[in-house]
Structure 1
Amino acid sequence: MSLDIKICGVNTPAALEAALAAGADMVGFVSFPKSPRHLEPEAMGALARAVEGRARMVLLTVDASDAQLETLIAAAGPDILQLHGHESPERVAEIRARFARPVMKAISVRTAQDLDVVPAYAAVSDLLLFDAKPDPGALLPGGNGRPFDWDLLRSLDPGRPVMLSGGLDPDNVSQALVRIRVDGIDVSSGVESAPGVKSPEKIAAFVRAARGAPRSGDA
């Protein structure tokens, strides 16, 4: 089974080139002003044009309105919409239908009970991304550099491709891939030298570690 590697929070030409050169399958652009990885539409569009079909471009938004999504989609032409807020299953379905693009819904996880929503979101999403649940009052819904108990996903089968996020870095990504079977992995702060500052060396090391890791369920 192939593995999709997503480098999220790409916000400079140098970070984008590092991700593409390393062989990332997806690059994520963030539209969320509270994030150090936030991009305005014009800057996002310039980076998106530089991707040139070398990877799939993912637009990450947090509880965005239709008007905001229209502006960002027009600017960047994303391949996938990543919804990383409190969007309900109904809202996810509405966005998917309105904008006619694949949707990845992020689900925040701390305990097994957080997975109770999976069937409802699986029914309306193309991909599911599982991230560590932030602490109450945290400014960011993701990109906080914290893992959750990966074993909670061990027996999960939502009938949709699954991506793992939350606290992954070059040192632990192989451990995650050995423990649970996923279709993709997503990293942001784990390949940064400072919040919002991507490290080309860490990006390359992360992709090497992920590509070389044994996979759960492989013979």
Structure 2
Amino acid sequence: MKSTISFNLKKYRKEKKMTQQEMAQALFVTPQAVSKWERGDSLPDISLVPQIARLFQISISDLWAEEAELVVSPIETLNQMSHGLIEDEIVSQVILELDSVTQISELTMSFDFFMLLTDRQKEQVVSAIIDSPYSDGMIEDFYYYLSSKQKEKMVMELLENQRYLALESIIPMMSRLIRTKVLEGTIRDQARDFLEELFPFLNYSQKEWLVQCVKLKTIPMSVLDNYLTFFTESQREELIKYEED
């Protein structure tokens, strides 16, 4: 159940322009824990509350402060629904609201209503969000609610448009298959800054694919120079051999 602190955690994180992963790293917890806090599935341990307040540069009481006289938007209307099918007309109103966004603070919202949408409605809302120039920091918020097929479709669209900031926030949640496709696209586009964020999450076979790319001269060894520590000893030996060549 959504709580005041759940809403405030997300609000203050967005104001600081932090991803769930960055917040988790600062508090030495997992991104999944932060996600659960913001969805209202659990609350942060009481010992973490002072650290959270310092991280956001607010008082502890601010975390429990309620918003006064909130205007109920179509999105909030959806979040108040607990069961039943959602009419297409309401979804259309949500899309219009997303289209009218003019600043990033307007995109601080909950996506619990995704559980009630049909696949077609989800795709409509996702397309509207992706089209917003302010949505990079919120992609992680609804990624959880999508099917595997929808996740792949969205990630491929973000990759095609080189939306690396949005992709960065969902790296820990990507499946092995999706992460492999993202790796291939990153190498193809020579997006070295994003590769640095992606590397810690690659498995052995994905790094082995990179070794083979160097062998086949699909990518120059210089692309991987800064990441040798992420490879196994045998993989490093192979790469160094080609670097010497």
Structure 1 length as normaliser, TM-score? 0.35
Structure 2 length as normaliser, TM-score? 0.32
Structure with a larger share of its residues in helix: 2
Structure with higher Rg: it is: 2
Q: Larger RCO: Structure 1 or Structure 2 (Cα < 8 Å, ≥ 6 residues apart)?
A: 1
Structure with a larger share of its residues in strand: 1
